[in-house]
Structure 1
Amino acid sequence: MEFAIILLAVLICVSVLAVKLNDNKIAFPFAVKKQLFTAAERQFLQLIEQSVGDEFRVMCRVKLIDLLSLRSNTDKKIANSALLRAGGKQVDFVLCDRKDMTPVMAIDLVFGVGKDGHNTQRDFFVSGALDTAAIPHVRIKAKGGYTVTDIRECIEAKLIPLRRRQGKIPFSGVTAANPSIIPTNKRPTRPLSASRRAVAA
């Protein structure tokens, strides 16, 4: 009982001190941001959510080190170097399985010019790390005019291995029995090149 009273007194003292420091603008010089996402990020989040429906959960701004883990037999020096490099990396969106939150796909929004930390050039460390972990990685050029169908086709183009495991398309490829997965007359392409139109990295 006495220990509980002492602990409560300590917590009260710490709280009072924290409030006092905050009043003097020393320890906590923060204010809430007006917007958590940019207009482009909000638009794409809405498009992605509509395109995947109830199948996946969409997580935003996921750190690479939260998405991947080191292999158990990794050399210590290599592991430290990889963790150091991965520490400052993140992906814009991650599709997760609704049942167990297993990562299914990573999606990055790419601007034509540098903005808010979004690199116009591919980050080969991020792409290589995701590829090694067998997580599909899609990079979508930020521009207006995309429809939910456009984004869905881009996502489905990278989910072909998953769809095959699910039995939704045959291993021999897309057939007339599966026209809604990848339309044969309009294959999605990546919107990062003038010669291509949709997404698949």
Structure 2
Amino acid sequence: MEIILLLFVVVLIAVAIIASRMSENYVPYPYKLKDVSLCTAQEDQFLTLLEKSVGDSFRIFTKVRLSDIVTVRSGLSSTARKDAHNKASQRILDYVLCDIHTMQVKAAIELEPGQSSLNQQKRNLFLKNTLAAAGLPFLRFKAKPGYRVAELHDYIHGKIRQAEHVRAAVPTNKDKNKQPIAA
């Protein structure tokens, strides 16, 4: 009887030690705030310039995931659909302009480094083609000083108007979706 009691106490102590060690290492939310800014100094300067350029016409969002603004068209195999979605999920746009009243996405903007690498060129080609397929303007600007607010305003508004005219001219299929109809 004493051996059973002694064995019970030893097991109880062992369980208590294991439980205390587990609780020391267990943290339900093991996160902390990163010590980083969402924008680099160049991106922040360009954002300020963009805000002045678009005025009250658009709201500017930074670091938007491509898959948050485009979706994969229907009619693909599940594997192709998943691959396309994963590609879009891995891409982040520097700036997205939305209509101030409707929050409808109007354009995507990239601030490119002075020297483009091959990876950057491939990335931009993917973004350009994806956004073109979605009917959304993709504007790229080199990271350099000297942009003028009025010139940016005219360029951005011109590209958005141009895209809206193109979208309005695209025939509607029987499902009321604006997609080119195959000839």
TM-score range, shorter chain: 0.5 to 0.7
Runs of 4+ in 1 over 6 A off after TM superposition: 17-20
User: Which residue number in structure 2 is paired with residue 169 of structure 1?
Assistant: none
Structure with the bigger percentage of helix = 2
Conserved? CA contact 1:57–1:95, under 8 Å: yes
Q: How has the CA–CA distance of structure 1 residues 160 and 113 changed in structure 2, closer, same or farther, with 3 Å as cutoff?
A: same
Match of 1:47 among 35, 49, 65: 49
- 5+ residue gaps, structure 1: 1-16, 166-201
Matches within 5 A, 1:1-201: 21=27, 27-28=30-31, 30-113=32-115, 119=120, 123-161=124-162
- 1:58 corresponds to which letter in structure 2? I
Q: Which whole-Å CA distance do the structure 2 matches of 1:100 and 1:43 have between them?
A: 26
Question: Radius of gyration: which is bigger?
Answer: 2
Conserved? CA contact 1:112–1:120, under 8 Å: no
Conserved? CA contact 1:110–1:120, under 8 Å: no
Q: How has the CA–CA distance of structure 1 residues 21 and 138 changed in structure 2, closer, same or farther, with 3 Å as cutoff?
A: same
- 1:46 corresponds to which letter in structure 2? T
Conserved? CA contact 2:135–2:163, under 8 Å: no
The TM-score, its normalising length taken from structure 1, stands at 0.61
Q: Which whole-Å CA distance do the structure 2 matches of 1:164 and 1:120 have between them?
A: 28
Q: Which whole-Å CA distance do the structure 2 matches of 1:37 and 1:48 have between them?
A: 14
How many Å apart are 1:104 and its aligned residue? Answer: 0.4
Other structure's SS at 1:161 match: helix
Q: Which whole-Å CA distance do the structure 1 matches of 2:134 and 2:56 have between them?
A: 25
- 5+ residue gaps, structure 2: 1-22, 167-183
How many Å apart are 1:87 and its aligned residue? Answer: 1.8
- 2:143 corresponds to which letter in structure 1? A
Conserved? CA contact 1:113–1:120, under 8 Å: no
The TM-score, its normalising length taken from structure 2, stands at 0.67
- 1:66 corresponds to which letter in structure 2? D
Q: How has the CA–CA distance of structure 1 residues 34 and 88 changed in structure 2, closer, same or farther, with 3 Å as cutoff?
A: closer
- 2:144 corresponds to which letter in structure 1? K
Count of aligned pairs between the two proteins: 144
How many Å apart are 1:18 and its aligned residue? Answer: 9.9
Other structure's SS at 2:140 match: strand
Conserved? CA contact 1:111–1:142, under 8 Å: yes
Structure 1 residues 33-81: Cα deviation after superposition (integer angstroms, max 9, x where no partner):
2532111111111111111111111111110100101223333222112
